[in-house]
Chains A and B, each alone.
Chain A
Amino acid sequence: MSYDRAITVFSPDGHLIQVEYALEAVKKGTTAVGVKGKDVLVLGVEKKSTAKLQDPRTVRKIVQIDDHICMTFAGLTADSRILINKARFECQSYKYYYEDPIGVEYITRYIAKTQQKYTQSVGVRPFGVSTLIVGYDSKGFPKLYQTDPSGNFSSWKASCIGRSEKPVKEFLEKNYVDEMDEEQTVRLTIQSLVEVVESGEKNIDIAIMRKNKPIEFLGRTRIAEIVKEFEEEKKRKEEED
């Protein structure tokens, strides 16, 4: 019996060890946060600190999949490139056949299906990537989806992937409220990242997805303003205590 037929095989206690190792790879990646507001979606990413001689603009973690869908990821960047490429192609292919823009859940399903395929195929390893996909569904509601290397996917109000997943998720669970407006959603996203990102706001990227509008990347100055406001508030609270 050759054990090199497939790379992902079951362990005696029913686990897919390779998939779990892939999840470990995700946990090593830089943090990505997604928050759903009443009629807005915000993605925040921790940017990996670039080397001195490296051009920081070439490291982009929030990408557009179609005109109305964006995604970000945590884990192996090179693996994510493949998924992003496949997703982009699928979006155009869908429009080619159905003339309608693709649905957020549809593309999430597709990405998740792709990730699952690679856990049950010969000679390949799973993708070491978890993704956060944002967009508006056909009824106009904002939707946030998460996929992981096992091929699972689910819809979230707010989620986090990557190395600071635990503390950020706890923060979000404590502070998330339904039906937030744009300002509140952006602030919550930035706040959740600022706690865990080393070297502060210079390494945070925020993207806002509004209905029927192209994605907007928040400017550096605006992020710095909001972070400053947090720090001042923090100081005030400490002084009161």
Chain B
Amino acid sequence: MDSLVGFVGKNYVLMAGDTNAGRSIMRLKDDFDKLVQIDSHKILAKSGEIGDGNQFCNLIIRNVSLYRIRNETELTTKSVAHYTRRQLATAIRKNPYSVNLLLGGYDKKDQKGSLYYLDYLGSSKKINYGAHGYAALFVGSILDRFWKEDLDFEDGLELMKKCLREVEKRLIIGTRCFLIKMINSDGISVVEKVMINSEKKNEIEEEN
């Protein structure tokens, strides 16, 4: 099951997704990038059905590009979120896309990052921090406690790793590898590809 985590910091947005792609009990790919670039300053993190995710993200990317070419200006994150939501909402009662998304973007005009939570039913909400998948159950409380407004990049990265460590520790399905990306005024950059190994204590030895 996919894990996506994202939150907004001081002039940046940090997003992470696990790099597993699987079907039933089999892991097909362990370097799957779920954080798709929409345009120079926006990422759509996708989770759910892989085929639907590909098709839907492709659709959004192409339409955002078309807007840019036609109007010689880029859409704001808010507009892309609304457009994406509209696509999901019209599809839900016809040919639903089974994708849950986190849209993160940096708007040069406002000089601020923003994050949107979208799900396959066509709901959309602007959030400061959020997650999709099983990760959301574990990560929600951590972010509730430790997220603050205007976190520095170092603090933000530490917080993200804290979240991912918890996911690795508690989620019974092995999700060790995560990809962390950042969006800021310079655009999109890959921060780190994290392999998390929680400490394993040998309790039998200690008892002796």
B69 part of interface (Cβ distance < 8 Å): yes
Main secondary structure of the interface of A (DSSP, over half): helix
Are B69 and A96 in contact, with the CB atoms below 8 A? Answer: no
Are B69 and A64 in contact, with the CB atoms below 8 A? Answer: yes
Are A88 and B62 in contact, with the CB atoms below 8 A? Answer: no
Are B70 and A85 in contact, with the CB atoms below 8 A? Answer: yes
Chain B residues with Cβ under 8 A from A64's Cβ? 69, 72
B59 part of interface (Cβ distance < 8 Å): yes
- Our count of residue pairs bridging A and B at CB distance below 8 angstroms stands at 22
Chain B residues with Cβ under 8 A from A88's Cβ? 66, 69-70
Chain B residues with Cβ under 8 A from A92's Cβ? 62-63, 65-66, 69
Chain B residues with Cβ under 8 A from A89's Cβ? 66
Q: What per-residue 1/0 map shows which CB atoms of B42-86 lie under 8 Å from chain A?
A: 000000000000000011001101100110100000000000000
B-contacting residues, A79-119, CB 8 Å? 85, 88-89, 91-93, 95-96
Are A66 and B69 in contact, with the CB atoms below 8 A? Answer: yes
CB-CB nearest in chain B for A69? B69
Are A91 and B58 in contact, with the CB atoms below 8 A? Answer: no
Chain A residues with Cβ under 8 A from B65's Cβ? 92, 95
The complex places the Cα of A95 from the Cα of B68 at a distance, in Å, of: 15
Are A96 and B59 in contact, with the CB atoms below 8 A? Answer: yes
The complex places the Cα of A88 from the Cα of B63 at a distance, in Å, of: 11
The complex places the Cα of A225 from the Cα of B65 at a distance, in Å, of: 36
Are B62 and A93 in contact, with the CB atoms below 8 A? Answer: yes
The complex places the Cα of A89 from the Cα of B63 at a distance, in Å, of: 9
Chain B residues with Cβ under 8 A from A66's Cβ? 69
Q: What per-residue 1/0 map shows which CB atoms of B3-38 lie under 8 Å from chain A?
A: 000000000000000000000000000000000000
CB-CB nearest in chain A for B70? A88
Q: How far is the CB of A201 from chain B (nearest CB, A)?
A: 24
The complex places the Cα of A88 from the Cα of B71 at a distance, in Å, of: 11
The complex places the Cα of A97 from the Cα of B131 at a distance, in Å, of: 30
CB-CB nearest in chain B for A85? B70
Chain A residues with Cβ under 8 A from B69's Cβ? 64-67, 88, 91-92
Q: How far is the CB of A70 from chain B (nearest CB, A)?
A: 11
CB-CB nearest in chain B for A60? B72
Q: What per-residue 1/0 map shows which CB atoms of A45-82 lie under 8 Å from chain B?
A: 00000000000000000001111000000000000000
Extra contacts, 4 of them, besides A65-B69, A96-B58 (Cβ < 8 A), are: A66-B69, A85-B70, A88-B70, A93-B62
Q: How far is the CB of A134 from chain B (nearest CB, A)?
A: 15
Q: How far is the CB of B181 from chain A (nearest CB, A)?
A: 21
Q: How far is the CB of A72 from chain B (nearest CB, A)?
A: 15
The complex places the Cα of A96 from the Cα of B58 at a distance, in Å, of: 6
Q: How far is the CB of A141 from chain B (nearest CB, A)?
A: 23
A-B contact pairs, 22 of them (CB 8 A): A64-B69, A64-B72, A65-B69, A66-B69, A67-B69, A85-B70, A88-B66, A88-B69, A88-B70, A89-B66, A91-B69, A92-B62, A92-B63, A92-B65, A92-B66, A92-B69, A93-B62, A95-B62, A95-B65, A96-B58, A96-B59, A96-B62
Q: What per-residue 1/0 map shows which CB atoms of B166-181 lie under 8 Å from chain A?
A: 0000000000000000
Chain A residues with Cβ under 8 A from B58's Cβ? 96
